[in-house]
Structure 1
Amino acid sequence: MLYTLAPDLLLGWPRANRADECAFMLPDVCARPEVGRLTGRGNTANLESVLALKPDLILDVGSTTPTFASLAARVQEQTGIPYALLDGRFEATASTYRLLGALTHRDAEPLAAYTEKTLSTINERVNRVPEDQRPRVYYARGPRGLETGLGGAINVETIEFLRARNVAAERQGGLATVSIEQVLVWNPQVIVTIDRDFADSVRSDPQWAQVEAVRTGRVYLSPKLPFGWVDFPPSVNRLIGLWWLAKIFYPDHFDEDIRAVTRDFYSRFYHVAPSDADIGRVLEGRG
């Protein structure tokens, strides 16, 4: 999120970016060092190395639950560096941009306004789609496609924002592993996946052959350069994914040229102008 608003202020990344990701970002900023994660699962940052970078602010966009708030307070206490914990929920993106703009003394209004317009335009059109035209969707993760997001999981936030029927939503929670038998019972009309191996193998896998989405060829591999369009990281990168998913779920209501929308989004948020070949590579999900 900081990269999209003020790339020059970014000292480092939670993990080092790969070359194929850097092709879609400002090269010098993309190449800044890996500093690891300070909080959350798999925190890997070394406080000494963070301090050595002499930051004026530690920025964390994500969950603002008491657990994360106390972690933030502890890091601030240990380092003496102000720690801003901002709301990472999808619906809060515009207000989080404005708060980040105030913290960094940068004009966040263009990105906040784009976010609001995108969410309201898409929401308005989805509201016009009759209930019986909202597809049953299965979100497949992992090489076997058997990890999915339950109802309310941050991983399926965009799918549920579009009011498609997440077949795994009968249970609330985060990520869960399910059986192929369960997927056959759900019989989704659309499968969205972030795993290239699964996308490549599912059409020839006899276990999946009876699933409606596989039979009708409605299995879609999500773009993920430089950041995922559907799931990870759970940030502003998912805004472009909304347009992509909306066209898959409701083609009669979304006739935008996804290539033009992608070019516009990447120039506004990632500060690059991708070529036609670059956009083709992104849309194939082959990163």
Structure 2
Amino acid sequence: MTTDMAGREVILPDHIHRPLGAAPPLTALLYALDPELVLALNIPFSPASDGFVDPRMSTLPIIGSSMGHGRQVNPETLLQLQPDVALVWLNRFMSPGSDVIEKPFRTTGIPIVYVKLDTLEDWIAAFEYVGSLVGRAERGKQLAAYIRQSLQRVSSGLAGIGNKQQVTVYYAETADGLATDCHTSFHTEAINLAHGYNLYRCQPKTMMGQERVDMEQVMLWNPQYIVAQDSMFTRRAAADKRWQRLSAFLNQRVLTVPHLPMNWLDRPPSFMRALGIQWLANAFYPQQFPFNLKEETRYFYQLFLGVDLTDQQLAILLDSDQAIKGDE
């Protein structure tokens, strides 16, 4: 018997050997604890991720997710995998008991454990809880400690940045740059933690986000920084005079998010944000938050992913980091 992170009592086997991540953040969590715990992927890793993840990942079935867009988990697949337990994503948009989440598991008799992952801070308790659940308690504590330390490091380093000193940020999520997310969305949490002022002030309408805005509004905002999720955006915007007139482009402050093997900030929102917030904090406030990006990236990838980055891998990984400070 265990009490999950939704406060539900769940009967589980004495020893869990086959946990299933029912959504990408949960599969990422299992992978960091031990790649051998991963039974299946919700979405495949991109071919560019070869060398950044365990080769076994390319042999695993793709099962979809219990929430979000795309392929949904189906009972037949679950019966084939025979997991001991399904780890389900608990967040502000989904309440325990939802048929959308639980129906496939109810029909197969697979117990469900909810794991709260609404914020980066939630990963501290989640690593410790799931680590204990699957027999990786010490590993879970080790990873939780890094998340805690990274949050403390950024918070203390930027403690002197008041509201009036915050840099203004536009989050461009698509190739055309005109989809973004509210400042209160979990999709933009990393920007907030790095003390960036997200110019799109609102409450999110859906879990998936990527709300549309028009170019005129972006020009009125005239952000000091643009954080871009799609490298195609930076190439297209380079040929568009409207984007080129913005402060972020004039001062070469367009940051393209590194994404191998998982995105550093979002989609999926994972433990990678512990590195991502430090990258952003340094890009936004280099004087207040000095940071050796290459050294910390090597350490982080070895700790969380078990990868000793070569110089070539590091160059490939950070090639999308187009952060150039205008005052340098």
Same fold per superposition (TM over 0.5)? yes
Written as runs of structure 1 = structure 2, the 5 A alignment for 1:106-125 is 106-107=136-137, 108-125=140-157
- May I ask how many residue pairs the two structures share in their alignment? 285
Gaps of 5+ in 2: 1-28, 322-328
Shift of 1:43: 4.0
Residue 101 of structure 1 corresponds to 131
Shift of 1:109: 0.6
Q: Does 1:234 align with 2:269?
A: yes
Distance 1:273 1:147 in 2: 35
Distance 1:69 1:126 in 2: 40
Gaps of 5+ in 1: none
User: Which range moves more in the overlay, 198-207 or 108-117?
Assistant: 198-207
Q: Quick one: structure 1 residues 150 and 39, their matched pair in 2 at CA, closer, same or farther if it must change by over 3 Å?
A: closer
Residue 251 of structure 1 corresponds to 286
Indicate if the aligned counterparts of 1:8 and 1:29 stay in contact, CA closer than 8 A: no
Q: Secondary structure at 2:98's aligned position in 1?
A: helix
Q: Secondary structure at 1:204's aligned position in 2?
A: coil
Distance 2:94 2:35 in 1: 29
* RMSD of aligned Cα (Å): 1.7
Indicate if the aligned counterparts of 1:222 and 1:229 stay in contact, CA closer than 8 A: yes
Distance 1:276 1:285 in 2: 15
Shift of 1:211: 1.0
1:186 to 221, 232, 257: 221
Residue 44 of structure 1 corresponds to 72
1:205 to 217, 228, 240: 240
Distance 1:280 1:199 in 2: 19
Written as runs of structure 1 = structure 2, the 5 A alignment for 1:1-287 is 1-63=29-91, 65-67=93-95, 69-71=97-99, 72-89=101-118, 90-107=120-137, 108-169=140-201, 171-173=202-204, 174-285=209-320
Q: Secondary structure at 1:59's aligned position in 2?
A: strand
4+ runs deviating over 4 angstroms: none
Distance 1:15 1:183 in 2: 32
Shift of 1:143: 1.2
Opposite residue 271 of structure 1, the aligned amino acid is G
Shift of 1:201: 2.2
User: Which range moves more in the overlay, 111-120 or 23-32?
Assistant: 23-32
Shift of 1:230: 1.5
Q: Quick one: structure 1 residues 57 and 236, their matched pair in 2 at CA, closer, same or farther if it must change by over 3 Å?
A: same
Indicate if the aligned counterparts of 1:126 and 1:163 stay in contact, CA closer than 8 A: yes
Distance 1:23 1:49 in 2: 28
Distance 2:238 2:203 in 1: 29
Shift of 1:64: 5.6
Distance 2:96 2:190 in 1: 23
Distance 2:59 2:70 in 1: 22
Distance 1:176 1:19 in 2: 28
Distance 1:38 1:176 in 2: 22
User: Which range moves more in the overlay, 149-158 or 54-63?
Assistant: 54-63
Shift of 1:74: 3.0
Q: Quick one: structure 1 residues 69 and 152, their matched pair in 2 at CA, closer, same or farther if it must change by over 3 Å?
A: farther
Q: Quick one: structure 1 residues 84 and 100, their matched pair in 2 at CA, closer, same or farther if it must change by over 3 Å?
A: same
Q: Secondary structure at 2:121's aligned position in 1?
A: helix
Q: Deviations over 1:249-286 (max 9, x none)?
A: 11012222101111111001111111111011111129
Distance 1:197 1:66 in 2: 32
Taking only the aligned residue pairs, the percentage that are identical comes to 31
Indicate if the aligned counterparts of 1:167 and 1:186 stay in contact, CA closer than 8 A: yes
Shift of 1:66: 4.9
